[in-house]
Amino acid sequence: MLEGKCVDSAPLHRAECLSVTSSELWTRATADRYDAEETEMSSAAVLGPTLAFLADLAGDGRALEFAIGTGRVGVPLRERGVPVAGIELSEHMAAALRRKIDEDTLPVTIGDMATTVVPGEFTLVYLVYNTITNLLTQDEQIECFRNAARHLAPGGRFVIELGVPPLRFLPPGQVAVPFDVSERHLGFDTFDLVEQILVSHHFTRDDDSDGDDLRYRRENSRHRYAWPAELDLMARIAGLEKERRLADWDGTPFTQDSTKHISVWRKPA
Ligand SMILES: C[S@@+](CC[C@H](N)C(=O)[O-])C[C@H]1O[C@@H](n2cnc3c(N)ncnc32)[C@H](O)[C@@H]1O
């Protein structure tokens, strides 16, 4: 499952957006629901190790979050004392962040993370929660690595959090891989193995529906999935060196059975 519920409700915005990026534009409705729906990803159990890891890498320097969204990570990282700036494509997601923290404390630039340049140098650039996949072409993902390298001080790190493509669950003839079958939500991925694109489908039960009147909201989002090794090559193209790969923020080693990875590349000093 890859996060990125954008979608079908904003065809005009999407068309405007396609002229500069392949990313789907996250709508106001999605932005308004995001924090309420991401309770697990916003829990202390998830954010604790995430923030400790990122704060350690930022050191005494500044951090830049690509696709900062509503500030799920960036806001508490700033509150820990790390100076944070953000780049975000969706004005709606940025507006939700702005309701939590002011511009002087956490500046956000509206733009595409593959190309947007913000002032200053950073010891850490990070891109979490599978969001590299929102760039739907390999060229754009490479540009995203280049843009991270552009913002890093010598010795600085680029960190990505990304799921391992779940293709081991897709035997020949099967068209979809379920990732959530719960009371409120049904989710499954479908794949275009030639174009390296997956679509995450979400059916989320309306809160006010039950019994004989069950109603579900349908959303889907497109992603370009990538293997860890492909990201390493993108990093090399961008002049970054692989430093480490973990299975989670708490330092769990990455193995062949890991379902996600935290990868760290370093700009040579
Ligand atoms: C899964 S959310 C992650 C938000 C936040 N980083 C977090 O961890 O909660 C993905 C975010 O990526 C943003 N996004 C998608 N494509 C983008 C692009 N090309 N440049 C900048 N932001 C982008 C979306 O608008 C959305 O806010």
Atom of ligand 1 nearest to the CA of 41: 9
Q: How does DSSP classify residue 150?
A: H
Decide whether any atom of ligand 1 lies within 6 Å of the 262 Cβ. Answer: no
Whether 4 contacts 200, CB under 8 Å = yes
Q: How far is the CA of 221 from the centre of ligand 1 (A)?
A: 12
Domain ranges of the chain: 5-165+226-266, 167-223
Length of the chain, please? 269
Q: How far is the CA of 178 from the centre of ligand 1 (A)?
A: 23
Pick from 200, 201, 223: nearest CA to 133? 223
pLDDT at 210: 80
Atom of ligand 1 nearest to the CA of 90: 25
Question: What tens-digit pLDDT sequence spans the chain (269 residues)?
Answer: 554 433 333 322 333 343 479 998 999 999 999 999 899 999 999 999 999 999 999 999 999 999 999 999 999 999 999 999 999 999 999 999 999 999 999 999 999 999 999 999 999 999 999 999 999 999 999 999 999 999 999 999 999 999 999 999 999 999 999 999 999 899 999 999 999 999 999 999 998 888 888 899 999 999 999 999 999 999 999 999 999 999 999 999 999 999 999 999 999 99
For 50-78, the DSSP string reads HHHHHHHHHTTS-EEEET-TT-TTHHHHH
Cα pseudo-dihedral 262, 41, 28, 23, rounded to 10 = 20
Nearest C-alpha to atom 27 of ligand 1 is from which residue? 69
Decide whether any atom of ligand 1 lies within 6 Å of the 6 Cβ. Answer: no
| Token output for 152 | 């890093």
Decide whether any atom of ligand 1 lies within 6 Å of the 134 Cβ. Answer: yes
pLDDT digits (tens, 9 = 90+) for 15-33: 334 347 999 899 999 999 9
Decide whether any atom of ligand 1 lies within 6 Å of the 67 Cβ. Answer: yes
Atom of ligand 1 nearest to the CA of 4: 1
d(CA 250, CA 253): 9
Ramachandran quadrant class, 129 (left: phi over 0; alpha: psi -120 to 50; beta: rest)? left
pLDDT digits (tens, 9 = 90+) for 89-112: 999 999 999 999 999 999 999 999
**Residues β-bridged to residue 180:** 187
Q: What CATH class has 5-165+226-266?
A: alpha beta
- Which residues fall within 8 angstroms of residue 212, CB to CB, at 6 or more apart? none
Q: How far is the CA of 225 from the centre of ligand 1 (A)?
A: 15
Bridge pairing between strands 122-127 and 63-66: parallel
What is the best residue among 20, 70, 110, 131 to mutate for testing ligand 1's pocket, by most ligand atoms within 8 Å of CB?
131
Backbone φ and ψ of 49, nearest 5°? -65, -35
d(CA 137, CA 134): 9
